[in-house]
Amino acid sequence: MKPARPAPPKKRDWSWRSQALRSVLYQVVALALVFSAGYYLLGNTLDNMRLRGIKSGFDFITQPAGFGIGESIIPFDSAESYGKAFAVGLSNTLRVAVVGIVLATLLGTLIGIGRLSRNVLLRSLCGAYVEFFRNVPLLLQLFIWYFILTETLPTIEEALRPLPGVFFSKNGLQFPIPVWTDSHVFTLAGLALGLLGVWWWGRQSRQHFEVTGRSRPVWLPGLLLLIGLGLLGWLAGGSPVALDIPEKSELNVVGGGSVTPEYMTVLVGLTIYTAAYIAEIVRGGIQAVPFGQHEASAALGLSRGKEVRLVLLPQALRVIIPPVTSQFLNLTKNSSLAVAVGYPDLVSISTTSLNQTGRAVECIAIIMACYLTLSLLTSWFMNAYNRRSLLKER
Amino acid sequence: MTTESPLIEFAGVNKWFGEFHVLRDINLRVGKGERIVICGPSGSGKSTLIRCINRLEEHQEGKLVVDGTELSDDIKAVNAIRKSVGMVFQQFNLFPHLTVLENLTLAPMWVSGVPKKEAEERAMQQLQRVQITEQASKYPLQLSGGQQQRVAIARALCLTPKIMLFDEPTSALDPEMINEVLDVMKELAHQGITMLCVTHEMGFARSVADRVIFMDHGQIVEENTPDEFFNHPKSDRTRDFLSKILAH
Amino acid sequence: MSQQPYVFQTVASRPPPRPVGGLLPWIQRNLLDGWTNVLITLLVLTLLALAVPPMVQWGLLNAVFGPDNAACRAAAAATNTGACWGVVAEKYRLIFFGRYPYEQQWRPMVACALMIGAIAASCYRPFWRGWLIGLWALVLGAFFVLMMGGRFGLVPVETSRWGGFPLTVMLSTVSLLIAFPLAILVALGRQSKMAGIRTICVLYVELIRGVPLISVLFMASFMLPLFMPQGSTIDVLVRVLIGMTLFTAAYLAEVVRGGLQALPKGQIEAAQSLGLGYWQTTFKVVLPQALRLVVPATMNTFIGAFKDTSLVTIVSLYDLTGALQLALGDADWRKFFFEGQLFVAAIYFVFCYAMSRYSLWIERHLNTGTRRQ
């Protein structure tokens, strides 16, 4: 028997008809075309910019912005730099995107499950929701919500008061917020301890189950632990109860936390729109699990709850999570429509800067760089998750 | 032949799928340790019959008693029955996201409350029984069809059932893998487990079955010992069916 | 051991003991099956009872249908408010045609009808022959001649005045017509073994898909004029079209790539063993199958492109959504913005829903040959 030998080095055949030569030729031609087109366009751009006196460069970032921003979580005034304005814009985008993602996922999951209900009324209602909100453009939906929130609500003098201390009017939603004192640190510490306790209890229960076969309740004790330790922390800090409650003054409502109608429009519009898409994805994922899996679980005697937890959800989530991550990205990108209703997100602030400085290329480049970073980060996480969770096959 | 009460008893069982009358007046008794093969043309209701035994299908008329418990809408009783009835499917239906070992320990741990170590020992014993211990840490989709079906048999055996139901276990397999599964089933039969098997493998029926039942259009047409059934069929329908299936 | 085999007697088929068909059993099964179901049914019925009668009252019974501003205001101020559909009756020409000159509005109407006719013809499978391309060339030519004018004695109308529904239809159709072949080329390029071409395609797709459509439209609006050699300008409409086409092509390329990847490798091997070259294999074996596989996702992208045309409002082109904003700038009618918005939403809904139904139909239709019955 002959022993195994290493493979001989690859010989490239450079004759006229060889595949290798041709492929190199094609690529050289293609790249040459792309580069020469790029060179031509760049040349034109520089000429045009010189002609119109448009300056270029990112130096405007440090100059004072000269405009105010309607709302932000970081204090900003018009004397601050453009760079800070962009940062505020990004923070506004994230502020609406993160909350929107959480709410849209909750709502979308509920509606997706509702579409699989045995009750025909619930099924039809959820189906109608999905069909209506998917087939109308998001921009139009935002305009409609904006109209509802700014025209049909009463003025601030006659604001609606659904709960004590909560005011709902054309000027937005005002609500009481706790006043931050140092003693709140104890509350936070208590909650952190509670989380640790929940994790520890979960681990203990799992080990107990593996050793004895009897399972212990996890959710209720965990919740009680979290609330209990949080409460203890609060008491330890001296039970601070100070609340900043909005109060009606003559013409206005002062105090408390608030959200503007613009923020609410973008949040509600994005949530309801994206939830419709997430509902369809959840429904598709659950239906993608073959019926045989349900039969096998039933034949083994698994109760419905255990079947969902151990067999249905792991398989359904594999199908659901990648497209849902895309929807999260879509929501973040769609938040750029905020410019149409006056919410100062990244695109809106960029547009204002563009109009003031004339640096179109730079401003647009900043927008694209920010969104591209978010997209690439999300794709990277999703690919990592996909690789880990792939059903291992031959 | 035992004189104790039968392990499975069908009395006047009728079932409909919508308007379609799929099981008609089924009367059948299965004693402990009996091995029964059910055959018949497709659409005759054979799979439906055995699926009624572990309540994967519900009958609308008649009485069905399994291991002393009558099958009804009482979900607790049904779940208790499912612990003593094991089922093997045509499409294997293994859980693709769990390893072979996890597939086997799932039910004992989560349904019967068996501690993890003991469940794993039992699982390895069953894998030994079907001769596939070396695949314990692999995932189902990494195995061949015959191997997957053997794992499915081991999974059903992990609950130490009194009755094993087989729903066309070899129909989805390549020819060279059918034998490895049939060998396992024969071994089980010799160990004395009560089994009902829907199959087209007549060789298996001849060598293993105590009784062969022929079904057509939802009715039991004929039941007899393999000898009598294959050599002296009583009904014309049976003769017709046998001539088609034993032709090659 | 066996029992005594009984003498075989056929049992005739009987109907089931509890009726299965009919309305009452259906209600029992779907609405009242178990306590949770009964609860849900009651909840939903209560919700409908609270919401539907006021909507019917507002939308139909107390509504004003004629273009009568005074009646509308009266209806809105009354205790049983009524909708003012009169705003549609009054403003429909502005909504449908934008700022197109009033007397010339028959032109966009005819142009739009031609375009929709061509689309409808393309949906009908027996028409999928070579002459369809000729038909499209004709219709597109007629569309632009009618809208732009300047020939055949038609008054010229500049593109910034185009608007409303014809603009929406034109933007979606033309961008899709160009984006689809471009997307196929990019998807093929992404699968290519040639690293240079693959890199260009990957960069293009990832860059465009990572940014919002608005930024692409802004880029097209502000930067394309800079790319032109001195002295020449590029039309606003063309800029927007280029932006939308590039955007849609990137998403379509991903969809087509999914289809290419789902195709079994054996197909390409079979074609190669028959001696077919690369382009022959692609057009005769690979693409027909790959495109069939991704019909739902493709139609979804088409529907998305149709809805996305609404974004051109932000770059000051007044499509259907934008024209609505224009129409209701009028202080007299501004109060009834909501009814106008509902009307426009209904138009979008009808078209998008029709497209999604068509998508289901064509998916079934195209796959009947490939599925075993």
Question: pLDDT, tens digit, for every residue of C78-98?
Answer: 777 778 888 888 888 888 888
Where does the pLDDT of residue C373 fall: very low under 50, low under 70, confident under 90, or very high at 90 and above? very low
How many angstroms separate the CA atoms of A335 and A328, rounded?
A: 11
Residue C369 scores a pLDDT above 60: no
Least confident of A84-88, A384-388, C113-117, C341-345: A384-388
C211: which chain A residues are within 8 Å (Cβ-Cβ)? 333, 367-368, 371-372, 375
Q: Please name the helix (run of DSSP H) or strand (run of DSSP E) that holds residue B226, with its range, or none.
A: helix B226-231
The nearest alpha carbon in chain C to A25 belongs to C194
Q: How many residues does chain A have?
A: 394
pLDDT (mean) for B134-153 = 93
Q: Do A372 and C210 touch (CB under 8 A)?
A: yes
Classify strands B35-39 and B211-216 as parallel, antiparallel or unpaired.
parallel
Q: Please name the helix (run of DSSP H) or strand (run of DSSP E) that holds residue C28, with its range, or none.
A: helix C23-31
pLDDT value of residue B243: 87
Subunits next to C (3 or more Cβ pairs <8 Å) are A, B
The nearest alpha carbon in chain A to C337 belongs to A147
Question: What is the share, in percent, of chain C residues with pLDDT greater than 90?
Answer: 24
How many angstroms separate the CA atoms of B170 and B68, rounded?
A: 31
How many angstroms separate the CA atoms of C296 and A169, rounded?
A: 43
Residue A182 scores a pLDDT above 80: no
> From the list C211, C311, C342, which residue is nearest A371 (CB)?
C211
Size of interface A-B (CB pairs under 8 A): 86
User: What would the pLDDT profile of A7-32 be if each residue is shown by its tens digit?
Assistant: 666 666 666 666 777 778 888 888 88
Q: Tokens in use for C109?
A: 């109407």
The nearest alpha carbon in chain B to A296 belongs to B93
Residue B211 scores a pLDDT above 90: yes
- The CATH topology of domain C62-100+157-366 is MetI-like fold (1.10.3720)
DSSP letter for each residue of C309-336? GGGGGGGT-EEHHHHHHHHTTSTTTGGG
Size of interface A-C (CB pairs under 8 A): 158
pLDDT value of residue C213: 94
Q: With the C-alpha atoms ordered B154, B155, B159, B163, is the resulting torsion angle positive or negative?
A: negative
User: What would the pLDDT profile of C60-74 be if each residue is shown by its tens digit?
Assistant: 888 888 777 788 888
pLDDT value of residue A17: 62
Q: Do C5 and B24 touch (CB under 8 A)?
A: no
B86: which chain A residues are within 8 Å (Cβ-Cβ)? 299
Chain A CB within 8 Å of residue C52 CB: no
pLDDT (mean) for A297-323 = 89
- The CATH topology of domain A82-158+260-389 is MetI-like fold (1.10.3720)
User: What would the pLDDT profile of B5-31 be if each residue is shown by its tens digit?
Assistant: 889 999 999 999 888 899 999 999 999
In single-letter form, the type of residue at position B228 comes to: E
Where does the pLDDT of residue A251 fall: very low under 50, low under 70, confident under 90, or very high at 90 and above? low
Q: Are B126 and B154 in contact (CB under 8 A)?
A: yes
How would you class C190 by CB atoms within 10 Å of its CB: exposed for 0-12, middle for 13-18, buried for 19 or more?
Answer: buried
> From the list C2, C8, C20, which residue is nearest B235 (CB)?
C8
A214/A286: higher pLDDT: A286
pLDDT value of residue C4: 52
C212/A158: higher pLDDT: C212
Where does the pLDDT of residue C251 fall: very low under 50, low under 70, confident under 90, or very high at 90 and above? very high
Domain boundaries, chain C: 62-100+157-366
Domain boundaries, chain A: 82-158+260-389
B217: which chain C residues are within 8 Å (Cβ-Cβ)? none
pLDDT value of residue A126: 94
Where does the pLDDT of residue A1 fall: very low under 50, low under 70, confident under 90, or very high at 90 and above? low
Classify strands B8-17 and B61-66 as parallel, antiparallel or unpaired.
antiparallel
- With tokens 């994922």, the residue in question is A285
pLDDT value of residue A389: 77
pLDDT (mean) for A170-192 = 81
pLDDT (mean) for C346-354 = 94
Subunits next to B (3 or more Cβ pairs <8 Å) are A, C
How many angstroms separate the CA atoms of C195 and C178, rounded?
A: 25
> From the list A27, A118, A367, which residue is nearest C37 (CB)?
A118
CA-closest candidate to residue A347, choices A86, A97, A140: A86
DSSP letter for each residue of C120-183? HHHHSGGG-STHHHHHHHHHHHHHHHHHH-SSTTPPP--GGG-EHHHHHHHHHHHHHHHHHHHH
pLDDT value of residue C5: 52
Residue C288 scores a pLDDT above 80: yes
Q: Which residues of B touch A (CB under 8 A)?
A: 54, 56, 79-80, 82-83, 85-87, 89, 91, 93-97, 106-107, 109-119, 139, 141-142, 155-156, 159
CA-closest candidate to residue C327, choices C178, C164, C201: C164
Write down the pTM of the prediction: 0.83
CA-closest candidate to residue C159, choices C144, C172, C173, C174: C144
Q: Mutating which of B101, B105, B106 best tests the A interface, going by the most A Cβ atoms within 10 A?
A: B106
B222: which chain C residues are within 8 Å (Cβ-Cβ)? 5, 8
pLDDT value of residue B165: 95
Please give the C-alpha separations between residue B160 and each of A46, A256, B124, B163, in angstroms, as whole numbers: 81, 65, 13, 9
Where does the pLDDT of residue A244 fall: very low under 50, low under 70, confident under 90, or very high at 90 and above? confident
Q: Mutating which of A46, A51, A133, A143 best tests the C interface, going by the most C Cβ atoms within 10 A?
A: A143
Q: Do C20 and B19 touch (CB under 8 A)?
A: yes
pLDDT value of residue B235: 87
Query: Could you tell me which residues come within 8 angstroms of residue C272 by beta carbon, excluding any fewer than 6 positions away?
Result: C281
User: What would the pLDDT profile of B51-109 be if each residue is shown by its tens digit?
Assistant: 999 888 889 889 999 998 898 888 788 888 888 899 999 988 888 888 999 999 988 88
Q: With the C-alpha atoms ordered C221, C224, C226, C229, is the resulting torsion angle positive or negative?
A: negative
Q: Do B89 and A295 touch (CB under 8 A)?
A: yes
Residue B248 scores a pLDDT above 60: no
How would you class A52 by CB atoms within 10 Å of its CB: exposed for 0-12, middle for 13-18, buried for 19 or more?
Answer: exposed
Q: How many residues does chain C have?
A: 373
CA-closest candidate to residue A195, choices A229, A218, A220, A219: A229
Q: Is C17 helix (H, G, I), strand (E, B) or coil?
A: coil
DSSP letter for each residue of B90-142? TT----TTS-HHHHHHHHHHHTS---HHHHHHHHHHHHHHTT-GGGTTS-GGG
Q: How far does the CA of residue A111 sit from the closest CA of chain B (Å)? A: 26
